[in-house]
Amino acid sequence: MSTTTNRSIVSTSGAPAAIGPYSQAVRAGNTVYLSGQIALDPASGQLVGGGIEAQAEQVFRNMKAVVEAAGGSLAQCVKLTLFLTDLGHFPTVNEIMQRHFAQPYPARSTVGVASLPRGAIFEAEAIVVLD
């Protein structure tokens, strides 16, 4: 983590490097703002194959790595925003999300989008409040 004025930039090799001019996450006080994660494999930088199940699992693994680099866990997530290129995948994403998050679940929005970077079909961003 590097510090800039009153915020810390969170970075980890356990999640894909940013593919543009942004940080994996920014910590301001006890709040961590995670940039959107798509299903890139952190080692290869390539989009994982296998459809929505594989992409959702990879996205949540990437998010977990970034949150842990900030000193937290997914259990501290207070807000998720999910982006799907096909809202027909909504039930599958709900099922996979329950493998990575426990009750009480974070607040959440799900947005249908026309496209995502690198041809991804799922992206998620989060806000985490550390204890």
Domains and CATH numbers, the chain: 2-129 (3.30.1330.40)
Strands 25-28 and 77-84: unpaired
Across the range 58-65, mean pLDDT stands at: 98
Confidence of residue 6 (pLDDT cuts 50, 70, 90): confident
Burial 4-43 (b: 16+ CB within 10 A, else e): eeebbebbbeebbeeeeeebbbbbeeeebbbbbbbbbeee
pLDDT at 114 over 90: yes
Q: What is the pTM of this model?
A: 0.94
Residue with tokens 């004025």: 5
pLDDT at 61 over 70: yes
Q: What angle do CA 121, 99, 107 make, to 5 degrees?
A: 75
Residue with tokens 């693994």: 61
pLDDT value, residue 1: 57
Smallest CA-to-CA distance from 19 within 109, 120, 129 is with 120
pLDDT value, residue 42: 97
pLDDT at 3 over 60: no
